[in-house]
Amino acid sequence: MNEEKNCAISNIMNILGGKWKLEILWQILNDEGIRFNQLKRNIPGVTNVALIRCLKSLAEHKFIKRIDKKTVPPHVEYYTTEKTQLLFPILSQLAELGKTISS
């Protein structure tokens, strides 16, 4: 059983690990339909390349939904999925912990 838990934790960390992914998910959870430039403005220090890679990975793993409005100029919005909603309580607790630690 311990081995299964370790494997499950490794799997989720491989998907959600890295500098930006949890912050991106938190932003999308708090602003459904957020667009690329809004995300970029809300996450100081993230580069275009890093944001694009993270969004692509999160979409491939079905943690976010990318909706292309098929307009000119391009209009793409990002939404949560059921998987993201499962993370909401965990991310909320992390946010509270962050506030507690930094004060």
What sign results for the dihedral spanned by CA atoms 43, 45, 47, 48? positive
Residues 61, 81: contact at Cβ < 8 Å?
A: no
For 80, other C-beta atoms within 10 Å of its C-beta total: 19
Domain count for the chain, please give it.
1
Cβ-contact 35, 75 below 8 angstroms: yes
Please give the model's pTM, rounded to 2 decimal places: 0.88
In angstroms, rounded to a whole number, what is the distance separating the alpha carbons of residues 74 and 100? 40
Show pLDDT as tens, one digit a residue, over the chain (103 residues): 566 667 888 999 999 999 999 999 999 999 999 999 999 999 999 999 999 999 999 999 999 999 999 999 999 999 999 999 999 999 999 999 999 998 7
Residue 68 lies in domain? 2-102
CATH code (residue 13): 1.10.10.10
